[in-house]
Amino acid sequence: MCKTLHIKIADLSISIEGDIPVDEWEIPSAYEPFIRTEKTDIHLRLHRKGLNSKLGKKTFDCPPIWALYRQNGMSFIRILHELPALTRTLVLATPIEKADLYFTEKSPRFLDPFFGPTMELLMVHTLAEGKGAIIHACGISRNGKGILFVGESGAGKSTLAKMWDQEPGVDVLSDDRNIVRKKGNQFWTYGTPWHGDAKFASAESVVLERIFFLRHGKENAINEIKEIHPVSLFLTTSFPPFWDPNGMVYTLEMLTDLTAQVPCQELTFKPDRSVIDFVLEELNH
């Protein structure tokens, strides 16, 4: 009998089982802190054989990584579709409580859900159902308070993560992707397995109390965001579900709520230790 692996990301528990035994998978070390044995929110079943049914109409394309097809209320996500030896198809219903991952017969390697963006795409679609969003950010927990340093690739997130890791009382949740969800009247930020170059991947979470949008500069400075609404900045530093009208309505409403509740500022910084002291001084005011 095949065993079942349980992982928990951002308070969402995923059970993984199927035709491919656990001992044949490659489980990246970044996922190890997320392994749990708890109730299951999403059942993901793996299938060694390919999917024979037609995929339907293409509704979104992100070449060469993935493409989305829809048919009869089902979503078919074709992943790494330009690489036959690595291609896989993730099949989702709405709401997402069960999912199936099919490998092609031309895929002799990486027969697991962790290679490529599979798990992240599963989470993006799940969060779009009124549950949260993935944000490109360096996320930290400082004395029980969460702070996000939000930025696109090259903004300095991994550099900041390495420096914050040396600071007493600070835990780095992620150096690249954090999940934000609202619980009750508070927004929480969660670490994820999808790390950046600094490879920080924590399964911990914390109440989010401050957001800084990163910008390189010649000096350290904090500026108010006036000309561009912070929601617009989030749309370029997150994973909005452009393919899903209802998901986009939810995401925009959530980001509007988030930026109204949690203080957002622009942080211009030099990539050296001085920025940590500068931010600490600001936080201690």
| Enclosing domain of residue 69 | 5-127
Do residues 41 and 123 both lie within one domain? yes
Q: What is the tens place of the pLDDT at every residue in 140-157?
A: 999 999 999 999 988 899
Q: How far apart are CA 226 and CA 242, in angstroms?
A: 26
Do residues 200 and 94 both lie within one domain? no
Do residues 116 and 175 both lie within one domain? no
The per-residue pLDDT for 1 is 41
**Above pLDDT 70, what percent of the chain?**
98
Maximum pairwise Cα distance, the chain? 61
Q: Read off the pTM.
A: 0.94
Do residues 138 and 105 both lie within one domain? no
Q: Is the pLDDT of residue 208 over 90?
A: yes
Do residues 178 and 37 both lie within one domain? no
Q: Are 212 and 192 in contact (CB under 8 A)?
A: no
Which of these ranges, 38-52, 119-133, 134-148, 158-172, has the smallest mean pLDDT? 38-52
Provide the domain count of the chain: 2
Do residues 121 and 145 both lie within one domain? no
Q: What is the CATH number of the domain that holds 261?
A: 3.40.50
